[in-house]
Amino acid sequence: MRFTFSSIALLSLLMETHAIPALAQKGQKAEEILLAARMSPTARPASLRAQIRGEEKPTLLRIGLKDHVITYEFKEPEQILLLKLEPGNTRLLEKKNGVSQTISGSHLNDVIRDTGVTYQDLSLGFLYWPRPVLQGEDTIKTRPAWKIDLQAPPGEEAYGVARVWIDKDSGAILRIEGYDKKGLLLRRFEIVSAQKIDGLWMLKQMRIESFNPGNPDPVTRRYLEVLGKEDR
């Protein structure tokens, strides 16, 4: 099974496979490997039902994919977030009363409702952090993967390093970990399962774990789950 993840984040969907460029396979260039991981997951329009759940009541949402934009729609109260995938970066916006405003600065570290997921997690911005370093190869659930570290740019408050595991064959992001300025684990996102909808591999379940720095046991564990196509 081959699929791609655009997360996390970082909470996007598993969509069509994008092979890692030959240059990346031969030269082991971190930039080339990341290029495949940044490929837009919106090649085909889709409207999906999803939820984020933990011990509390699940938070339901709709996820829309179209024209290089991922839309997250929450209800009760209504909230619309737009993730625009651009060639050099991503932009996360909130739409209120028909007007879209960019979410930036310290607000990126705010938690979205009671989901345990932050706007920073949703933005995918770490995939564009400068000077990625290829740390070698690893195996994630029997899949051979590249392991890449990305250093946080100046001004980033929450994280010091983002570590990404990318499937060597498909370019899929299999796992993401965020570390603080001291190198201690804060957050982990990992694909648990996938499903096929209309001929495309998509996320079925992703596990999201939060940690207190220095403690290997997760403080919270939540799941992002795609429930199926939205009926319209």
State CA 41 to chain mean position distance. Answer: 11
pLDDT at 6: 38
pTM: 0.79
Asked if 184 contacts 161 with a C-beta cutoff of 8 angstroms, the reply is: no
Question: What does pLDDT average to in each consecutive run of 10 residues of the chain (232 residues)?
Answer: 36 44 52 70 76 86 87 91 80 89 84 82 76 90 90 81 86 87 91 81 85 92 89 66
How confident is the model at residue 45, as a pLDDT?
80
DSSP codes joined into one string, 69-130: EEEEEETTTTEEEEEEE-SS-EEEEEEETTEEEE--GGGGGSB-TTSS-BHHHHH-GGGG-S
pLDDT of residue 131: 80
pLDDT of residue 9: 39
For residue 25, what is the enclosing H or E element? helix 22-27
3 state SS of 212: coil
Q: Can you tell me the distance from the alpha carbon of 168 to that of 141, in angstroms, rounded to the nearest whole number?
A: 13
pLDDT score, position 2: 32
The CATH H-level superfamily of 4-229 is: Lipoprotein localisation LolA/LolB/LppX (2.50.20.10)
